[in-house]
Structure 1
């Protein structure tokens, strides 16, 4: 059931991390948005890594210049552009990049959403049927319906 505010449907919120799975998630959400006439809000979260014992020079896994927000935004924009190119009439997409744990950022975005769409993060045979910790938390606590798209 699509919820409306001021004759406009509430957005579909999509968690995007730049992975191949998140491209599939965004594609599914865009098709759903075409059907319902909804807009998409693509959301990416970033956090400063916890680093121990690196009081000198190089720190592993740091984006160039340590600009986490900029890197997250660039990844999100690239993912949205890639998926939009694959659809004939893509819906309106806004992006949100926020500092914080993915669960907190997604729960905040889902407060004003008709649907939260996420990918699963299973790893192989038996583990492949399991949800990742972010997806699991969102399924249990989201303020709106949640759709989990399995990895391709």
Structure 2
């Protein structure tokens, strides 16, 4: 193990939270963070935050460029918030396989989860669940942040006139 923390990133809120958590943990451990975005265009079934754009007849070179932009955006955002330097890896393939392979020489693997639902998980498989069961190092799963609830404002209605 080289001590680095590997983080699966896909541009989703949960992956951004996972990267924030990993950067904080890396500060405690005095180690580096490696953000890994794994992409694969399957025009029959594309899932993710920019899936509609990618599925619309995109060639692999353009898809790679689009995913690089997502990775760079996420890393720039979290890097600016935290002041951390984050290494990036962009890979084409199955996220489950690429992340578990990257875990072989890592101290920790961090992934987000969107809780997409049972049907979608059965059809596609959960990356986070797969990593928990197959990674070569400890795995931390970060849930998608819940939107902040705002308290409803009371509605004032005029009462009966006396």
Please, which of 114, 123, 128 is the counterpart of residue 121 of structure 1? 114
Residue 64 (structure 1) shift:
5.8
CA contact (8 A) 1:30 1:40 kept: yes
Equivalent residues, number: 132
Which structure shows the bigger proportion of residues in helix conformation?
Answer: 2
Query: CA-to-partner distance for each residue in 1:19-78, whole Å, 9 max, x for gaps?
Result: 1111111000000011111101100011121449xxxxxx97237665111111110010
Distance in 2 (alpha carbons) for counterparts of 1:49 and 1:63:
10
Q: TM-score, normalised by structure 2?
A: 0.73
Given the alignment of the two structures, is residue 61 of structure 1 paired with residue 72 of structure 2, yes or no?
A: no
Given the alignment of the two structures, is residue 30 of structure 1 paired with residue 46 of structure 2, yes or no?
A: no
Distance in 2 (alpha carbons) for counterparts of 1:37 and 1:63:
43
Distance in 2 (alpha carbons) for counterparts of 1:47 and 1:20:
20
Q: Spell out structure 1 runs of 4+ moving beyond 4 A.
A: 63-66
Q: TM-score, normalised by structure 1?
A: 0.77
Q: How does 1:3-152 map to 2 (within 5 A)?
A: 5=2, 10-51=3-44, 61-62=55-56, 66=60, 67-87=62-82, 89-90=83-84, 92-123=85-116, 133-152=126-145
5+ residue gaps, structure 1, are 53-58
